[in-house]
């Protein structure tokens, strides 16, 4: 935390998969949690196990407040959602055994009614739910009053004006922040690498972008993206490993195992068809706590991340170019005088880019697109999973940030539209 005469800025990076929150000037976020909002219900009667408003849908605002919150329902955020899922699964297993033995089982005090992702493909789809995420970030994760701090939020490339205005409005009117600033995730990721010019290749939870940046400003007409990221890889692994092991991961509440397997066993090759598939490789094995051994065949280990570079491997993505192809096109859409600098400063970011071999394959494809005539350098920082947050922490700690951010007075004078004048 900063000294008393310098107010810290709270930095919030809302990704489709995970949210990172912390303070400016720090090297890493204080908290990292899933961007999910669950609605739980509690029992009215401990003995009967009856649930409050059990038939009412989570989105029904009847009997609730303006946000759609229903009496008897409570929002839970991030890891708490998975904890309640685990509790429900364990209770179900105990109930089966109890039924077979003819013995009673204590009813659950809480039940998960629904789970929602307020951020999808980088865009905020539900403002009430994202407000709950922000509220949780401030009050539960950082344990602060947001009215005492300025806030920096990240957003996706080419975000629409109305969304930026809505973010600004909520921060000033709902949280009464002292100041506010928005910056594109890719620009912040580049800044975190110590550069102001380069091309950022981001691959996150459900979307990937290629964003050329010149002297701190994204070149909007050259930004490209595809709705493909880590979630598509997880779905591939779930489908094929379920079949290969005759083990229903989803039914057994073992989706967290899939995530761990994906991170530990997948790798991107530079010779997928030429050698890797033909010559084969090692199978990966993982033992669950109950002794079940999950096996990952070599073909699945390399095909899973290959989807990023060759989306045509998926039935519904036959005509979609891969991440290497769109990175090359982004550079080619830029002024020729700038292309050399971009080829020499390719920065990768996002959790999905951590897959082994990702940077080597990207460099190979970009270089091949030039006919081998250009020198291509890919920079892969070990903390790239949180690169946007780190860049935000760095910018918000600059002495010039006080003039960059929107002040409360500026918001009162010109309202949300001021975000387009100060954040670009």
Quick: pLDDT tens for 201-242. Answer: 999 999 999 999 999 999 999 999 999 999 999 999 989 988
The CATH T-level fold of domain 186-228+321-387 is: Nucleotidyltransferase; domain 5 (3.30.420)
Q: For the chain, give the mean pLDDT.
A: 87
Report the alpha-carbon angle 360-366-367, nearest 5. Answer: 85
Q: What is the widest separation between alpha-carbon atoms in the chain?
A: 78
pLDDT: is 376 or 42 the higher one?
376
Provide mean pLDDT across the span 250-255.
67
* Residue 400 banded pLDDT, cuts 50, 70, 90: very high
The structural architecture, per CATH, of the domain 230-316 is Alpha-Beta Complex (3.90)
pLDDT tens, residue by residue, 135-179? 999 999 999 999 999 999 999 999 999 999 999 999 999 999 999
Q: Tell me if the pTM is above 0.95.
A: no
Please spell the DSSP secondary structure of 130-150, one letter per residue. HHHHHHHIIIIIS---GGGSE
Angstrom CA distances, 28 to 4, 31, 78, 208, 391, stand at 21, 9, 19, 23, 10
3-state SS of 269-338? CCCHHHHHHHHCCCCEEEECCCCCEEEECHHHHHHHHHHHHCHHHCHHHCCCCCHHHHHHHHHHCCCHHH
Q: In the chain, where are the structural domains located?
A: 1-34+120-184+388-424, 36-116, 186-228+321-387, 230-316
Mean pLDDT of 393-413: 94
Mean pLDDT of 253-266: 84
Residue 43: its pLDDT value, please?
Answer: 63
Identify the CATH homologous superfamily for domain 1-34+120-184+388-424.
ATPase, nucleotide binding domain (3.30.420.40)
Same fold, 186-228+321-387 and 230-316: no
């Amino acid at each position: 935390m900063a000294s008393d005469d310098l107010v810290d800025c709270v930095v919030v990076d809302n990704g489709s998969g995970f949210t990172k929150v912390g303070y400016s000037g720090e090297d890493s976020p204080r908290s990292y949690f899933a961007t999910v909002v669950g609605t739980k219900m509690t029992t009215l009667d401990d003995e009967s196990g009856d649930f409050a408003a059990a038939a009412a849908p989570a989105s029904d605002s009847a009997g609730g407040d303006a946000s759609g919150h229903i009496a008897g329902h409570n929002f839970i955020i991030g890891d708490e959602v998975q904890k309640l899922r685990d509790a429900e699964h364990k209770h179900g297993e105990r109930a089966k055994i109890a039924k077979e033995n003819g013995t009673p089982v204590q009813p659950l005090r809480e039940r998960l009614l629904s789970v929602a992702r307020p951020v999808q493909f980088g865009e905020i789809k539900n403002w009430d739910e994202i407000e709950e995420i922000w509220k949780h970030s401030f009050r539960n994760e950082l344990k602060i009053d947001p009215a005492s701090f300025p806030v920096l939020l990240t957003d996706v490339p080419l975000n629409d004006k109305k969304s930026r205005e809505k973010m600004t409005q909520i921060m000033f009117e709902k949280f009464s922040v002292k100041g506010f600033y928005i910056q594109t995730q890719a620009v912040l990721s580049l800044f975190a690498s110590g550069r102001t010019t380069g091309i950022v290749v981001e691959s996150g939870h459900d979307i990937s972008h290629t964003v050329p940046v010149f002297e701190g400003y994204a070149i909007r007409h050259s930004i490209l993206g595809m709705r493909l990221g880590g979630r598509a890889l997880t779905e591939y692994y779930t489908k094929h490993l379920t079949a290969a092991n005759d083990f229903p991961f989803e039914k057994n509440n073992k989706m967290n195992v899939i995530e761990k397997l994906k991170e530990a066993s997948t790798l991107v090759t530079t010779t997928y068809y030429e050698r890797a598939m033909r010559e084969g490789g090692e199978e990966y094995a993982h033992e669950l706590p109950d002794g079940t051994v999950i096996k990952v065949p070599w073909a699945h280990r390399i095909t899973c991340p290959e989807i990023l570079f060759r989306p045509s491997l998926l039935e519904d993505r036959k005509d979609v170019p891969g991440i290497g192809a769109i990175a090359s096109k982004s550079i080619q859409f830029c002024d020729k005088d700038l292309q050399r600098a971009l080829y020499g400063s390719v920065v990768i970011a996002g959790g999905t880019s951590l897959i082994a071999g990702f940077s080597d394959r990207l460099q190979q494809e970009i270089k091949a697109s030039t006919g081998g005539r250009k020198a291509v350098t890919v920079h892969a920082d070990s903390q790239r999973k949180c690169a946007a947050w780190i860049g935000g922490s760095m910018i918000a700690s600059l002495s010039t940030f006080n003039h960059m951010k929107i002040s409360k007075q500026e918001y009162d004078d010109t309202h949300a539209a001021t975000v387009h004048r100060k954040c670009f």
